[in-house]
Amino acid sequence: MQYQYETSGTCSEMILFDIDENKVVTNIKFIGGCNGNLKAVSKLVDGWTADQIAAKLLGNECGFKGTSCADQLAKAVLEAAEKVRK
């Protein structure tokens, strides 16, 4: 299933990715944000489960924003995983 997540509190505006019935996340694309860094994050976690991504990235902050693009990715994949289960 392709999933689209609108970010909040970050330079990126949206995250697009695929998630399967086993909660494996692939084809991650950030719209906006720090292009090089977000391409690297996307490559590093490609093929991981939503739980693995959340375990590593949830709570990661960028400056004083209280969130980051990586944190938003973690929130996005957890939200998508809940929808896949239903």
Which CATH number do you get for residue 49?
Answer: 3.90.1010
Show the domain range for 40.
2-85
Instruction: Provide the percentage of residues in the chain whose pLDDT is more than 90.
Output: 95
The residue type at 53: I
Other CB atoms within a 10 A radius of the CB of residue 82 amount to 11
CA separation (Å) from 86 to 1, 9, 21, 70? Answer: 13, 28, 10, 25
| pTM, to two decimals | 0.95
Confidence of residue 1 (pLDDT cuts 50, 70, 90): very high
Whether pLDDT at 84 is above 80: yes
Q: What is the number of structural domains in the chain?
A: 1
Distance CA 1, CA 58 (A): 22
Confidence of residue 67 (pLDDT cuts 50, 70, 90): very high
Edge-to-edge order in the sheet of strand 25-32: 2-6, 12-19, 25-32
Instruction: Provide the percentage of residues in the chain whose pLDDT is more than 70.
Output: 99
Question: What's the length of the chain?
Answer: 86
